[in-house]
């Protein structure tokens, strides 16, 4: 009996802590979203209350939607993020496999070389990158962004994936080799499925900075046709912008798509991270 009450109180405590933290995590988002639906005076006078019939106002959204093509921005962000993610995962996994599977001269050195990129912010190479893109006519294309983000995401992807790949059992691969499978088949058919959890982790690590990056869209692709949603939202929060209705609406519009995407994929993500009990 005492054991039961004990476990009950323990799980109550666990829920209390988790609920408390969940509130902390969600509160700022909640505040932004509810206030984006309110009239200007209500935003300031009663920031904590949800919009009521009197204070409900879509003026912020009207301003934002009149100013910029947010659907287009969202589409740009989506294309850039998904393509970069694909290349980072594919190239990263291939390189990580080569590094963790084969012993060859310069293996360690190659590993260190590929890890260098974790340590320097790529922002520093901006001018040289921009020159390269100008020379190849890629300025104001989404391709430029995909290339930069692929390069930026690779070091960390290789670093994490190589760790995980070294734990994949040798027996399985050797069995494959005895069956006459090529190294490529072993990689794509045997190893890749096994490291899926790690791939999901890498996907999250890679996706967030790409989706949220402000700098490279600003430098490499600031044109109306290639603007990403983060850059589009930033346009409203300049030094001289005081229109909080529009700012809050723009922020909400930038939050919602990524939130929806995340909610759709979070199940797969968690399953990916946790399945297979990696070690």
Binding positions for other proteins, 197-226, rule CB under 8 A: 197, 201, 204-205, 208, 211-212, 214, 218-219, 222-223, 225-226
Question: Least Å distance between CB 53 and other proteins?
Answer: 22
Q: How many binding residues for other proteins (CB under 8 A)?
A: 126
In the chain, count H helices and then E strands. 14, 0
- The DSSP result for 73-99, as a single string, is HHHHHHHHHHHHHHHHHHHHHHHHHHH
Applying the rule CB under 8 A, the residues between 225 and 244 that interact with other proteins are: 225-226, 230, 233-235, 237-244
List the x/- string, 47-86, binding to other proteins by CB under 8 A: xx------------------x-------------------
Measured in whole angstroms, the distance separating CA 200 from the mean position of its chain's CA atoms is 11
Give the largest CA-CA distance in the chain. 76
Helix (H, G, I), strand (E, B) or coil at 237: coil
Question: Least Å distance between CB 58 and other proteins?
Answer: 18
- 100 near other proteins (CB under 8 A): no
Question: How far, CA to CA in Å, does 236 sit from each of 68, 252, 253?
Answer: 10, 12, 12
| 56 versus 118: smaller Cβ distance to other proteins | 118
Angle value at C-alpha 86, between 81 and 92, nearest 5 degrees: 120
| 58 versus 90: smaller Cβ distance to other proteins | 90
- 9 near other proteins (CB under 8 A): no
């Amino acid at each position: 009996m005492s054991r039961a009450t004990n476990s009950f109180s323990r799980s109550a405590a666990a829920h209390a802590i988790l609920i408390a933290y969940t509130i902390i995590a969600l509160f700022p988002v909640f505040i932004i979203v509810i206030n984006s639906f309110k009239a200007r005076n209500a935003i300031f006078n009663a920031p904590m209350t949800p919009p009521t019939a009197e204070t409900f106002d879509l003026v912020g959204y009207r301003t934002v939607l009149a100013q910029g093509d947010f659907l287009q921005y969202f589409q740009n962000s989506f294309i850039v993020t998904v393509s970069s993610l694909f290349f980072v995962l594919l190239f990263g996994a291939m390189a990580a496999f080569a590094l963790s599977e084969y012993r060859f001269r310069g293996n360690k050195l190659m590993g260190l070389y590929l890890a260098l990129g974790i340590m320097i912010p790529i922002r520093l190479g901006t001018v040289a990158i921009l020159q390269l893109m100008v020379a190849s006519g890629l300025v104001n294309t989404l391709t430029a962004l995909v290339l930069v983000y692929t390069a930026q995401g690779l070091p960390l992807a290789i670093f994490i994936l190589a760790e995980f790949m070294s734990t994949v059992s040798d027996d399985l691969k050797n069995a494959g080799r005895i069956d006459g499978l090529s190294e490529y088949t072993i990689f794509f058919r045997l190893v890749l499925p096994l490291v899926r959890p790690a791939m999901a982790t890498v996907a999250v690590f890679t996706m967030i900075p790409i989706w949220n990056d402000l700098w490279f869209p600003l430098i490499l692709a600031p044109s109306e046709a290639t603007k990403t949603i983060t850059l589009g939202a930033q346009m409203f929060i300049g030094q001289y912008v005081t229109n909080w209705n529009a700012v809050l609406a723009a922020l909400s519009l930038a939050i919602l798509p990524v939130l929806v995407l995340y909610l759709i994929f979070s199940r797969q993500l968690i399953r990916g991270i946790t399945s297979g009990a990696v070690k």
